[in-house]
Amino acid sequence: MYYCQKIQEKGKISGLIWDFMNSLHKQVCHPRPETEDQEIFWSEHKHMHSIQFVLATMPDGMISCTVGPYEGKRCDWSMWKDDMQEMVIENERDSKRDRVYLYGDKAFYLEEGVIGGYRQHNGIELTSEESIFNDYMEKPRTAIEWGFGKVMQLFQFTNLK
């Protein structure tokens, strides 16, 4: 696949990653006290009421997929499972029929069509290979941040609470 080759040409570890994904919390006004929506939109992780979007961006900055909005309490993995997984599985093989992956942050883990950064489990430190992989993949993952910036620039009303 073209994008896998370009990522590998840049000196990155894997030639099997074709796209990057992440979620974005957008703060919303505090729901009215008489509504039941307060718990739905409260993000314990971000400590604010929010809605979320999941965005997939190719290394050249082209946005390949965006889904949402979701309520603030949803985790990245459940949003992925609900709406993006089917799309990724359809595109998970390159022209040579090798499996290719969407790369996410540490909230995602290896499953059909997606891989995430390595994370510590039970206080056990990452191996040097795992740390090197995370470091190498951080730079090309900035494409996803550019994608969020592009959406905020083009659709400025999304910055309103």
- pLDDT per residue as tens digits for the range 118-159: 888 888 899 998 888 888 887 777 777 777 777 778 777 666
Residue 28 has pLDDT above 80, yes or no: yes
pLDDT of residue 88: 67
- Confidence class of residue 22 from pLDDT cuts 50, 70 and 90? confident
The answer to whether the CB of 48 falls within 8 A of the CB of 25 is yes
Tokens in use for 31?
A: 């729901």
- What predicted TM-score, i.e. pTM, was given to this entire model? 0.69
Query: From CA 83, how far away is CA 4, in angstroms rounded?
Result: 23
Q: Is 37 left (phi over 0), alpha (psi -120 to 50) or beta?
A: alpha
Query: From CA 159, how far away is CA 145, in angstroms rounded?
Result: 15
Residue 12 has pLDDT above 60, yes or no: no
Task: Specify the number of domains making up the chain.
Answer: 1
Cα separations (Å) of 75 from 5, 98, 139, 148? 31, 29, 24, 18
Instruction: Give tens-digit pLDDT for 52-69.
Output: 888 888 777 788 888 888
Residue ranges making up the domain that contains 80: 2-158
